[in-house]
């Protein structure tokens, strides 16, 4: 039940984004009908003209301590289910940071 996986020279992460939420932050894991695991993520930003996607990249960069330029939206530009590519090796340190994003209910 992982929301991240090795991909190319970095890793891919799956996010279930809730824009226009009451707070900004990360939540628990979500499993869709296909069995894919996503990290629930909440933003107060409205989903207009890519604003929420830009805020998501900014928030992830800050939390994972990587550059925004090293995060690319692979799929889900206009949907809640997103796949992002982190152009940084999947090191034990990054795995720990990713696992620390998960908040238990």
Task: Residue 72: give its domain's CATH number.
Answer: 3.30.1200.10
Residue range 35-92, pLDDT digits in tens: 999 999 999 998 888 899 999 999 999 999 999 999 999 999 999 999 999 999 999 9
Domain boundaries, position 97: 4-101
Looking at the structure of the chain, the number of domains it has is: 1
pTM value is 0.92
- Kind plus residue range of the DSSP H or E element containing 96: helix 92-101
Asked if the model's pLDDT at residue 105 lies above 70, the reply is: no
pLDDT of residue 30: 95
pLDDT of residue 8: 86
Q: Do the beta carbons of residue 15 and residue 93 sit within 8 Å?
A: no
Q: For residues 35 and 21, what is the distance between their CA atoms, to the nearest angstrom? A: 25
Asked if the model's pLDDT at residue 97 lies above 90, the reply is: yes
- Pick the closest to residue 86 from 14, 19, 38, 23 (CA basis): 14
């Amino acid at each position: 039940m992982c929301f991240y996986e090795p991909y190319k020279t970095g890793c891919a992460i799956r996010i279930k984004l809730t824009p226009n939420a009451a707070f900004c932050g990360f939540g628990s894991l979500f499993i869709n009908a296909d069995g894919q695991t996503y990290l629930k993520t909440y933003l107060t930003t409205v989903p207009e003209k890519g604003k929420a996607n830009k805020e998501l990249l900014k928030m992830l960069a800050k939390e994972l301590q990587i550059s925004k330029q090293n995060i690319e939206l692979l799929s889900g530009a206009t949907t809640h289910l997103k796949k992002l590519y982190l152009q940084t090796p999947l090191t034990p340190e990054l795995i720990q940071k990713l696992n620390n994003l998960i908040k238990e209910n």
